[in-house]
Amino acid sequence: MSDPRAPRPSAWPGLEPSAPRFEPAPAELARAIEGALGVRGRVERIANAGEADSYLRLTAGDGTRWFVKAVPAERAREMEQAEAIARWLAQRGAPVVAAAREPRALGARVLLTYPYVEARAPAPTIADARALGAALAKLHAALAAHPDVAAWRADTARRLEDLERVRAELARGELRAGPDPERLALWARDAAIDFGARAFAALGTAVPSHGDLNLFNVLVTAGGPLFLDLEEVHHSVLPAAFDVATVCERAILVRQADDAAAHAAMAALAAAYAEASGSPPLPLAGMPGVLRALALRALCVRARIDPRGDDAREWAKFFALMDGAGARAAAFGARGVSA
């Protein structure tokens, strides 16, 4: 998940995919976007996104469609950094969606314009799982060749140190955060949940990763999966297992209630990733521990940016993911983990 200086609503709240519902954008906003981009056409907004008037579709007179993000100006540097990475990857054939135009100012916001991609959310099927595993391996291989990997390693170390400090404050009771601070403190004190340096040794070499593979950052197109929203890359030099486990969790585990079917799909994803990357397959039995570590890391981020628990849905999401990593352990062929 993202780690901004101040909390902001999630673009797509929850864990279940939701097809975008388009409606005409307010006339004043539509005119402003047309003027800023120098394109006349029909401007629609996504009515069911988490941030009002932030995600739009522009259909030009010739039928060309663009997806437009309107982000606060204070996020412009973060977004431009991510888009520079995406462009670099796209030029080398990596499976990503990159902005098609330079950012344009619109009052207190910045517009980022992408080609509109006809796609769907990944399904919890073996076919989609295999495609996701292979595409993720291709993304990791491309990221590993980026010239800024050394700087990303340093950013990753700083971020993990910061989140370990937050965890220590939660564990000691110096920081009480969220809707259930006692339970969060209990998890923070649990030495078996590790997202720090010790986890690296057990999970393999750290590699440049996406770092935020929630279901809304993965698109399945006719040509295969595509990844988007690369804001986390610069501080996500982590074991590949973190990305693999996240995709298994978000695309399969939370969407497939049958443990046997979920196991088969996750095994297919892990095997496809291993085959495409030339690495040993991630043992599914160890994945619940990885997912609990990822959930605690995300909760530490929330504790840092939203200690009062104002965004109740986001807090509930990561509590549910922590619980699910133990309750669905049978899907991994592992024993359950108590909460």
Quick: pLDDT tens for 205-246: 899 999 999 988 999 999 999 999 999 999 999 999 999 999
Predicted local confidence at residue 3, as pLDDT: 45
Predicted local confidence at residue 12, as pLDDT: 58
Predicted local confidence at residue 197, as pLDDT: 65
Please, which pLDDT band fits residue 10 given cuts at 50, 70 and 90?
Answer: low
Predicted local confidence at residue 329, as pLDDT: 81
Mean pLDDT of 65-78: 93
Whether the pLDDT of residue 4 is over 90: the answer is no
Quick: pLDDT tens for 151-189: 999 999 999 999 999 999 999 999 999 999 999 999 999
Task: Decide if 35 is inside a domain.
Answer: yes
61-66, long-range: CB < 8 A, 24+ apart: 65/115, 65/116, 66/37, 66/39, 66/100, 66/113, 66/114, 66/115, 66/116
Assess contact for 314 and 305: CB atoms under 8 A. no
- Phi, psi torsion values for 248, nearest 5 degrees: -60, -45
Task: Decide if 1 is inside a domain.
Answer: no
**Is the domain of 305 the same as that of 166?**
yes
Number of domains in the chain: 2
Q: Which of 115, 148, 167 is at the close of a domain?
A: 115
Task: Decide if 338 is inside a domain.
Answer: no
Whether the pLDDT of residue 336 is over 90: the answer is no
Assess contact for 37 and 111: CB atoms under 8 A. yes
- Domain containing 93: what range? 22-115
**Is the domain of 276 the same as that of 238?**
yes
Answer whether 0.85 is exceeded by the pTM. Answer: yes
Quick: pLDDT tens for 275-300: 999 998 888 998 999 999 999 999 99
Predicted local confidence at residue 270, as pLDDT: 96
Return the percentage of the chain with pLDDT > 70, whole number. Answer: 93
Task: Decide if 83 is inside a domain.
Answer: yes
Please, which pLDDT band fits residue 200 given cuts at 50, 70 and 90?
Answer: low
Predicted local confidence at residue 142, as pLDDT: 98
Task: Decide if 62 is inside a domain.
Answer: yes
Please, which pLDDT band fits residue 2 given cuts at 50, 70 and 90?
Answer: very low
Rounded Cα distance, 122 and 140, in Å: 19
**Is the domain of 191 the same as that of 271?**
yes
**Is the domain of 107 the same as that of 133?**
no
Return the percentage of the chain with pLDDT > 90, whole number. Answer: 81
Rounded Cα distance, 29 and 23, in Å: 13
Q: Which of 115, 146, 170 is at the close of a domain?
A: 115
Task: Decide if 5 is inside a domain.
Answer: no
**Is the domain of 64 the same as that of 173?**
no
What is the helix, strand, coil percentage profile of the chain, to 5? 50, 15, 35
Whether the pLDDT of residue 1 is over 80: the answer is no
**Is the domain of 160 the same as that of 263?**
yes
pLDDT averaged over the chain? 91
Quick: pLDDT tens for 24-55: 999 999 999 999 999 999 999 998 877 778 99
Q: Which of 91, 115, 139 is at the close of a domain?
A: 115
Task: Decide if 121 is inside a domain.
Answer: no
Lowest mean pLDDT among 34-43, 81-90, 191-200, 287-296: 191-200
**Is the domain of 140 the same as that of 85?**
no
**Is the domain of 307 the same as that of 229?**
yes
Task: Decide if 185 is inside a domain.
Answer: yes
Predicted local confidence at residue 53, as pLDDT: 87
Residue type, 229: D
Predicted local confidence at residue 51, as pLDDT: 76
**Is the domain of 110 the same as that of 130?**
no
**Is the domain of 144 the same as that of 277?**
yes
Three state DSSP letters for 286-314: HHHHHHHHHHHHHHHHHHHHCCCCCCHHH
Q: What is the CATH number of the domain that holds 222?
A: 3.90.1200
Q: What is the CATH number of the domain that holds 26?
A: 3.30.200.20
**Is the domain of 146 the same as that of 291?**
yes
**Is the domain of 158 the same as that of 216?**
yes
